[in-house]
Amino acid sequence: MSMSRMAALFVAAAAVAFSAAPAAAAPLAVEFAGAELPRNQTVVLPVAEGGLAGSAAAINAAGQGALEQAMQAAGFKGKAGEVLPLYGVAGYRSLLLVGVGKDALTRVALEDYGARAATKATGTDAVHVVVPEGTDAEAPAHIANGAALGSYGFDKYRSGTAKPARKLVVHAANPQDAEQRYKQSWQPLAESVAFARDLVNEPGNALWPEEFVQRTRDAFRGVSNVTVEALDVPAMEKLGMGALLGVGQGSKRPPRLLVVHYRGAGANDAPVVFAGKGITFDSGGISLKPGSGMEQMKYDMTGAATATATVLNLAKRGAKVNAVAIAALAENMPGGGAIRPGDVLKTMSGKTIEVISTDAEGRLVLSDAVTYAQVRFKPRLLVDVATLTGAVRTALGDDYAGLFSRHDAVAQQVLDAGHKTGEEVWRLPLHPDYANGITSDIADIKGSASGRAYAGAGIGAQVIGSFIAPETPWAHLDIASVAWLDAAQPTKPRGATAFGIRLLDQLVRDHYEAR
């Protein structure tokens, strides 16, 4: 090769390295202000179906009915989600009408309104948002929270697209009160969701078990009453975690068990424990997945991100609860050391598992994580969160996560929290007969059914459930259906949703947090 050709190659390689340098997007700055609206920036006006009210009505009157005329001409009715940009109307440089429908404005509706205000407004770098009529003192904070969640983006790997920082101002009757509510109670949630989405969006070559641990340590730096520990391979060997270790052994990047412990209540109060599946890339292992769509399997660590970020949120907002995140971190690869179909693994519980498919790895890593959770923490409540099965997607689409529990009261709490936060879950059965599909000739159980199996999500839940003591209040969330979106929703951009943080936050607020 000629010297100049070599030099050209070197320059090309250097350019690739350079353009991959992170240039993280600045998050949306959120502020609160009083009633006065600026005329030279974008003003977002809520419009309910059936007539103008509040600021929109006042601006319409001041402009001799200009808003109503524009709405009529455009066929804008105020249905939830409808938007209409207007320029130079009624003395305002830029107005954005956002429909809020005709129903009472719930938290989810307010968040969606805030998200639309932040994402649909164009033209100016500051967006001024009017709070809908007839809402309570928490409404401005919900709007701000929705705006923060909806404006999330992940563009660190794009070169030359640094977007200007944007500012969102919520105009509230009592801005000091609104700001205090937001900062204390909701901003930590939006920040924690962004932390988790960043982890999930990272490709497999940028995020592996030890890197996940490192980023978690960075995120918790300076947060009070928290300890972050990571069990390495020798530590897990000592505890006999043969299932988690088995999944990790096909990769050059060793597995970890990450434990984040937040103490926000009495020393003797049992904690709430969230255990997450953290497969930083799921190739399927020796039971290799088909190539098409495999790139999506970087999101197979969403459960771990959700569990960790849930505790980050609780710690940052100073929730009066003890809470633990346990992230079962491994990369599922078909390296020379990989486990094979037919292998028998011994779990920390002592139970043995015959591996049928190495692609059913989530339940393997979680079996050791939930055993560790129960032995060490004796949890008040144990929730495991996992992108566990393709079957739950087939059953529920991307509208619901699958919920499994043997405890009706716990199931109801989770269903309610899901509904309140817009992170909807649908309960699916744990029929005792699912155990029949996973009896093994050689070990205590099989990791998955042999051949064509039905009720795949239920069988996955059944395997995890066989490591849960009957007295442990437990719920399993199969989030494979909702962890990644191909089409954006108002507060969930395309890509990583980090589903479950809002739901689990609400669950704690309603049932596990001291007042």
The least CB distance from residue 67 to ligand BES, in Å, is 45
Q: Is 367 in the site for ligand BES (CB under 6 A)?
A: no
Q: Is 355 in the site for ligand BES (CB under 6 A)?
A: no
The least CB distance from residue 389 to Mn ion, in Å, is 9
Report the SS3 class of residue 226: strand
**Dihedral sign, Cα of residue 121, residue 125, residue 131, residue 137:** positive
Of residues 42-71, those binding ligand BES (CB under 6 A): none
Among 201, 308, 347, 387, binds ligand BES (CB under 6 A): 387
Spatial distance between the Cα atoms of 503 and 491, rounded to a whole number of angstroms = 14
* Closer CB to Zn ion, 308 or 421, in the complex: 308
Q: Is 391 in the site for ligand BES (CB under 6 A)?
A: yes
The position carrying tokens 């975690």 is 241
- Residues contacting residue 458 through CB under 8 Å, at least 6 positions apart: 404, 428, 429, 430, 431, 434
3-state SS of 442-498?
CCCEECCCCCCCCCHHHHHHHHHHCCCCCCCCEEEEECCCCCEECCCECCECCEECC
* Closer CB to Zn ion, 282 or 384, in the complex: 282
* Span near Mn ion by CB under 5 A; candidates 56-64, 87-95, 276-284, 412-420: 276-284
Of residues 42-71, those binding Mn ion (CB under 5 A): none
Q: Is 354 in the site for ligand BES (CB under 6 A)?
A: no
Q: Please, are residues 212 and 199 in contact by the beta-carbon 8 Å criterion?
A: yes
* Closer CB to Zn ion, 362 or 418, in the complex: 362
Of residues 269-298, those binding Zn ion (CB under 5 A): 279, 282
Among 179, 202, 354, 359, binds ligand BES (CB under 6 A): 359
Of residues 354-393, those binding Zn ion (CB under 5 A): 362
CB atoms within 10 A of CB 54: 17
Among 448, 462, 491, 506, binds ligand BES (CB under 6 A): 448
Query: Which residue(s) pair with 69 in the sheet?
Result: none
Q: Is 112 in the site for Zn ion (CB under 5 A)?
A: no
- Residues contacting residue 107 through CB under 8 Å, at least 6 positions apart: 138, 142, 420, 421
CA distance to 102, 314, 355, per residue, from 242 (Å): 56, 31, 12
Spatial distance between the Cα atoms of 385 and 370, rounded to a whole number of angstroms = 11
The candidate with the shortest Cα–Cα distance to 332, out of 244, 411, 227, is 244
Among 111, 112, 198, 282, binds Mn ion (CB under 5 A): 282
Of residues 271-300, those binding ligand BES (CB under 6 A): 282, 300
Of 120, 277, 363, 393, catalytic: 363
DSSP state of 436: G
Strands (E), 283-388: 322-332, 344-346, 352-354, 381-386
Of 289, 378, 380, 420, catalytic: 289
Residue 107 appears among annotated catalytic residues: no
The least CB distance from residue 336 to ligand BES, in Å, is 21
Element (H, E) at 190: helix 187-201
| Parallel/antiparallel/unpaired status of strands 445-446 and 226-231 | unpaired
Residue 355's identity, in one-letter code, is V
Q: Is 362 in the site for ligand BES (CB under 6 A)?
A: yes
Q: To 5 degrees, how large is the angle CA 107–CA 323–CA 266?
A: 110
* Closer CB to ligand BES, 54 or 390, in the complex: 390
Residue 289 appears among annotated catalytic residues: yes
The least CB distance from residue 294 to Zn ion, in Å, is 11
* Closer CB to ligand BES, 135 or 462, in the complex: 462
DSSP state of 175: H
Q: Please, are residues 260 and 325 in contact by the beta-carbon 8 Å criterion?
A: yes
The least CB distance from residue 252 to ligand BES, in Å, is 20
The least CB distance from residue 166 to ligand BES, in Å, is 32
The candidate with the shortest Cα–Cα distance to 78, out of 51, 111, 106, 113, is 51
Q: Please, are residues 112 and 490 in contact by the beta-carbon 8 Å criterion?
A: yes
The candidate with the shortest Cα–Cα distance to 152, out of 185, 191, 207, is 191
Number of residues that bind Zn ion (CB under 5 A): 4
* Closer CB to ligand BES, 359 or 513, in the complex: 359
357 binds, among Mn ion, Zn ion, ligand BES, none (CB under 5 to 8 A by kind): ligand BES
The least CB distance from residue 388 to Mn ion, in Å, is 9
Q: Please, are residues 476 and 403 in contact by the beta-carbon 8 Å criterion?
A: yes
389 binds, among Zn ion, ligand BES, Mn ion, none (CB under 5 to 8 A by kind): ligand BES
Q: Is 360 in the site for ligand BES (CB under 6 A)?
A: yes
The least CB distance from residue 387 to Zn ion, in Å, is 6
* Span near ligand BES by CB under 6 A; candidates 152-160, 161-169, 212-220, 387-395: 387-395
Q: Is 300 in the site for Zn ion (CB under 5 A)?
A: yes
Q: Is 478 in the site for Mn ion (CB under 5 A)?
A: no
Contact letters (x/-) for ligand BES, 457-486, by CB under 6 A?
A: -----------------------x------
| Residues acting as catalytic residues | 289, 363
Task: Give me the residues that bind Zn ion (CB under 5 A), please.
Answer: 279, 282, 300, 362
Task: Give me the residues that bind ligand BES (CB under 6 A), please.
Answer: 282, 300, 357, 359-362, 387, 389-391, 448, 456, 480
Task: Give me the residues that bind Mn ion (CB under 5 A), please.
Answer: 282, 359, 361
